Structure 1
Amino acid sequence: MDRTGIQQDSAQVEAVKDLAEVLGQKGIFTQESDRERYASDQSGLSGAMPLAVLRPASTEEVSRVLAICSRHRIGVVPQGGRTGLSGGACSPQGTVVLSTERMSGIIEIDHEAMTLTAWAGTPLEAVQEAARAAGLDYPVDIGARGTATIGGTIATNAGGIRVLQHGMTRPNVLGLEAVLADGSVVSRLGKTVKDNSGFDLKQLFIGSEGTLGVVTRAVLQLRRQVRHSALALFALPDHAAALACLAAGRQRFGSRIRAFEGMWPDYWDFVCHETSLATAPITGRHGFYLLVEVEAGASQPEEELEAFFAELFEQDLVEDGVLAKSLTEAQALWSVREAVGEVDEDFGPHINFDIGVSPSALGHFCDAADAVLATLPEAAGALKVGHLGDGNVHLLVAHDGSAAAEERIEAAIYGLLRNWQGTVTAEHGVGRIKARWLGHSRTPEELALMRGLKGQMDPLGILNPSALFLESED
């Protein structure tokens, strides 16, 4: 047995046998080919072969499964769509995977309360489509919407392109059901927006990456559906101009700004000119590029964006721009921003930093990061793209593929980030890849409190072991 209390050998055969009796033939995979498919997520981190893949179909089965794993001290790695980029769904040695893929589907849509209740394994896109079919909208949106599950987005407090308008996952969850490490079920699937009856326990599970409990069902807050919006791409002299545009946009559009995405010249040049990942919709080279989407108001949003561009042009804040006049043109503009998900092959080995700093400091931080990287021979180039309105930049740094290069680059960037009081992960989560750097964003007192909660709710340390915390800190 290792120091976390997780049994590594003698009880494994007996545990898998007990789990199979609970789940039946459809509910467990034990063949090596099946287990191998569930070992890792999209982070690039390789997981160990799980002892078994558990596929419960109900909260009751999850409860019975965790009770068995607790009794045998077998580690459990909860999984949704395995789209994570921080290694949170990669299985350590001697653990089982608990997949929510059979716990999928819309349970209820309440039009009056504007809520949707769904199983944790329901794909995000399925929730969005069900909400829209009812004339409503679920605003959390990420690129992996077709595969990412509701439980996974809750576990990681997923963000995405609409955070500026509607926040991350956390404020969009009204009720939650989760199973604790010992099999106990905590269920509060209420639809009340105002509830001051003690601790808001659902917040413990949102963003905890499966280390405190396994989410099984959720009540999601829906919004009114706005069918018409306008999208424009602006070319600007620099990042400072983009911040001025954001302030002007808030003054003009208020909460109707749906997206405010920034692209630095290094990223633009790479996806539009150095590769064929996207086609540049604007000619010439500029100091910054801004993608703005605005919901319809009293007048046509296209007309409003055109007037907005004219105003910014007069103030020398923008140098060029293009307005999408059709769905095809809008998709073409978005394709430039979304090409970040396709750069891996062309860019080669790299680190994908998911960094958050104050929006007002983002440009200065990126300048400082470029200066630091210029001093490192291991760094072979950088790309910067992100959610300008909320201070989240995705900094991709190329290197020679060696562990030594990764170590030096990560130490330099995270060290700089600590000085800027930023976060080592803005929306991708800590997982296993960033666990060692969590102290660069959190104080020792905060880490002690987090570890205390973990110890209280999962005393044997079986839930997603080695995720979020370093093993020496469990």
Structure 2
Amino acid sequence: MSSFVEAPATHSPATQPAASAIAALRALRDELGETAVLIGDAVPERNCNDWSTQPPQRPLAVVRPVDAAGVSAALKACRAAGLAVVPQGGLTGLCGGARPEPGWVVISLERMVGVEEIDADACTMTVRAGTPLESVQRAAADAGLYFALDLGSRGSCAIGGNLSTNAGGNRVIRYGMARELVLGLEWVLPDGTVVTSLNKMLKNNAGYDLKHLFIGSEGTLGIITRIVLRLHSQPGCTMSALCALPDYNSVKRLLGAARRGLGPLLSAFEVMWPDYWQVVTERVGVRSPVTGGHGHYVLVEAQGTDATIDGPRFQQWLEALLDEGLLSDAAVAQSLADTQAFWGLRDACAEFFSALGPHISYDVGLAVRDMHAFATRCKAALAAAIPGCDSVYYGHIGDGNLHLVSWVPGLSVEQQPKRAMDEVIYGLVRDFKGSISAEHGIGTTKKPYLGHARSPEEIALMRTLKAALDPLGLLNPGKVI
């Protein structure tokens, strides 16, 4: 039985006469520059959608400011003309959060790129919101420091978009979500007000910490323009092992052993179910360093400070587990190439379109103890409810994040029964008291199921905040709540 969240009646963006709207956009182009505002047929195809499976929609215009003042001017002009606005970064979101509707204006941060400052003493970086994540990582490394957030889309996604969805990624178990890696922000409110709060201090309890309103709000409360990121020391060494285990109880025991035996060195704990393993080794064709036929496969990574100390410590920890009989098989990386090969097995999901054909990806949060029960029930429920439906399971696990992919062979993306899949998957998430989104956001695709993970009181408070900051409902309307 579905429990969709029905939003109360809200102000809808006024429909403006085309001539009035175009006149406002042309005036904005005169203010910001010829290449800063693209109207009508000049709108690039890339700005018509994100990576969600929804059909693309052409916006009325794309505004490409270079700073917060430009974002402010764009929001003021759109507010005066009654035009709805959607912010866009790298467009790698999977939930429709950056997808426009016809008649909307896109504010793209693609020209707001670059690192403004790296403060090695404070271990901070001040960066513009449109900067690709990989560029942020590289700039930190060039300065002898480390930015811990890492995603498979690192070369395409923008750091501002990462914050708008509170991205997680591969090393949350050690460094936390994107939220934990931010010290200060600059943002622009829906009325065009620029708020600059580029704090660089770890300790600053002077009133409300307002930045957390905008991290994870998916561009519905304001547009992030600049960020102060928290950096860490570069790891002196990285150790990794690929382990095969007989069952999920052994996986949980291994996680506990890793937390105790590796302590703060533990940086990743990635679990792959047998169905996922079969796809990546047999259909994608990734070579495995361990034997097949096991109950689960785990990639354990630890980051240390001294290879001569931490390397042997990691090896001894793993050997003790083998001697204990906890592991069925294991391979330890002897080089960077080995580590990359291990991660190649976990990241092979990027090849699923070629291996499986069209499919639907899901991202849910669950208690660690419940993940195997959820995966078992979900796989059976999908197969029973949707003829021919198959699914595979994998995830970060140590931070409570399970990913799954489901599909009906032979169907296009548009033909995949996503609504039926959603009902099964999110219904089970509700039953297990989990979250419908661990790290991908809500956007529009998960909005009907928000009540599966948030109480009516929480959703009401979200709507109160939205109404207070965006009373005209023009900033990314209809998203999240």
TM-score by length of 1: 0.95
Partner of 2:459: 447
Q: How does 1:452-467 map to 2 (within 5 A)?
A: 452-467=464-479
SS in 2 for 1:187: strand
How far apart are the structure 2 equivalents of 1:210 and 1:111?
30
Deviation at 1:20, TM superposition (A): 1.1
Distance 1:449 1:163, change over 3 A: same
Letter in structure 2 aligned against 1:186: V
How many Å apart are 1:297 and its aligned residue? 4.9
Q: Find the residue that maps to 2:77 and give its secondary structure.
A: helix
Aligned to 1:105: 114
The 5 Å alignment of 1:362-441 reads 362-378=371-387, 380-399=389-408, 400-401=411-412, 405-441=417-453
Q: 1:17 aligns with which of 26, 39, 54?
A: 26
Structure 2 CA distance for aligned equivalents of residues 143 and 320 of structure 1: 27
What is the alpha-carbon distance in structure 2 between the residues aligned to residue 315 and residue 459 of structure 1?
62
Structure 1 residues not aligned, in runs of 5+:
470-474
Contact conserved, 2:379 with 2:390, CA < 8 A, in 1?
no
SS at match of 2:243: strand
For residue 370 of structure 2, the aligned residue among 320, 336, 361 is 361
**Amino acid of the structure 1 residue aligned with 2:140:** A
Mapped to 2, the partners of 1:433 and 1:54 lie a distance apart of: 25
User: 1:49 and 2:61 equivalent?
Assistant: no
Q: Identify the match of residue 290 of structure 1 among 270, 281, 298.
A: 298
CA deviation map 1:403-459 (0-9, x unaligned): 682222211111111011111110111111111111111111111110111111011
1:320 aligns with 2:329: yes
**Pick aligned residue for 1:200 from 202, 206, 209:** 209
Distance 1:120 1:30 in 2: 23
Contact kept in structure 1, 2:386 and 2:420, CA below 8 Å:
no
Cα deviations across residues 229-266 of structure 1 (Å, max 9, x unaligned)?
11110011112211111100111111111111011000
Task: Give the direction of change, closer, same or farther, for the CA distance of 1:377–1:160 in structure 2 (3 Å limit).
Answer: same
State how far apart, in whole Å, the 2-side matches of 1:297 and 1:23 are: 48
Q: Quick one: distance in 2 between partners of 1:337 and 1:90?
A: 29
1:63/1:183 contact within 8 Å kept = yes
Give 1:348's aligned amino acid.
G
Instruction: Identify the match of residue 174 of structure 2 among 165, 171, 175.
Output: 165
Partners of 1:242 and 1:316 in 2: how far apart?
13
Q: CA, structure 1 residues 269+206, in 2 after alignment: closer, same or farther (shift >3 Å)?
A: same
Q: Residue by residue, what CA displacement relative to the aligned partner does 1:57-83 show, whole Å, maximum 9, x if unpaired?
A: 111111111001111111111011111
Which residue is 1:88 aligned to?
Answer: 97
What is the rounded CA distance, in whole Å, between the counterparts of 1:318 and 1:235 in structure 2? Answer: 6
Q: Which among 66, 71, 77 is matched to residue 75 of structure 2? A: 66
Please tell me the root mean square deviation across aligned C-alpha atoms, in Å.
1.7
Q: Output the CA distance in 1 between the equivalents of 2:311 and 2:192.
A: 53
2:16 and 2:392 mapped to 1: Cα distance?
42
Correspondence for 1:240: 249
Matches of 1:191 and 1:266, distance apart in 2:
45
Does residue 1:136 correspond to 2:154, yes or no? Answer: no
Report the equivalent of 2:289: 281
Deviations 1:359-412 (A, max 9, x none): 222222222212322322335211111101011111111124566822222111
User: Cα 1:341–1:445, aligned 2, differ >3 Å: closer, same or farther?
Assistant: same
Query: 1:304 & 1:209 partners in 2: Cα distance?
Result: 42
Structure 2's unaligned 5+ residue stretches are 1-9
**1:180 aligns to what?**
189
The answer on whether the counterparts of 2:363 and 2:401 sit within 8 Å (CA) in structure 1 is: yes
**Matches of 1:339 and 1:261, distance apart in 2:** 13
Partners of 1:151 and 1:6 in 2: how far apart? 28
Q: Is the 8 A contact 1:207 1:429 kept in 2?
A: yes
Q: Which moved more, 1:146-155 or 1:24-33?
A: 24-33
> Do the aligned residues in 2 keep the contact of 1:46 with 1:90 (CA within 8 Å)?
no
1:274 to partner: Cα distance? 2.9
Aligned residue for 1:472?
Answer: none
- CA positional deviation for 1:33: 5.5
Q: 1:188 to 1:318 in 2, by over 3 A?
A: same
TM-score, normalising length: structure 2 = 0.94
Please tell me the residue identity of whatever aligns with 2:421: I
**Residue-by-residue CA offset, 1:262-286 (whole Å, 9 max, x unaligned):** 110000001111332x222222311
Residue 204 of structure 2: SS of its match in structure 1?
coil
Q: Provide the residue aligned with 1:342 in structure 2.
A: 351
Following the alignment from structure 1 to structure 2, what is the Cα–Cα distance between the partners of residues 212 and 378? 41
SS at match of 2:392: strand
2:258 corresponding residue in structure 1? 249
Percent identical among aligned pairs is 43
Give 1:242's aligned amino acid.
V
Letter paired with 2:441: G
Distance 1:379 1:207 in 2: 36
Q: 2:16 touches 2:81 (CA, 8 Å); kept in 1?
A: no
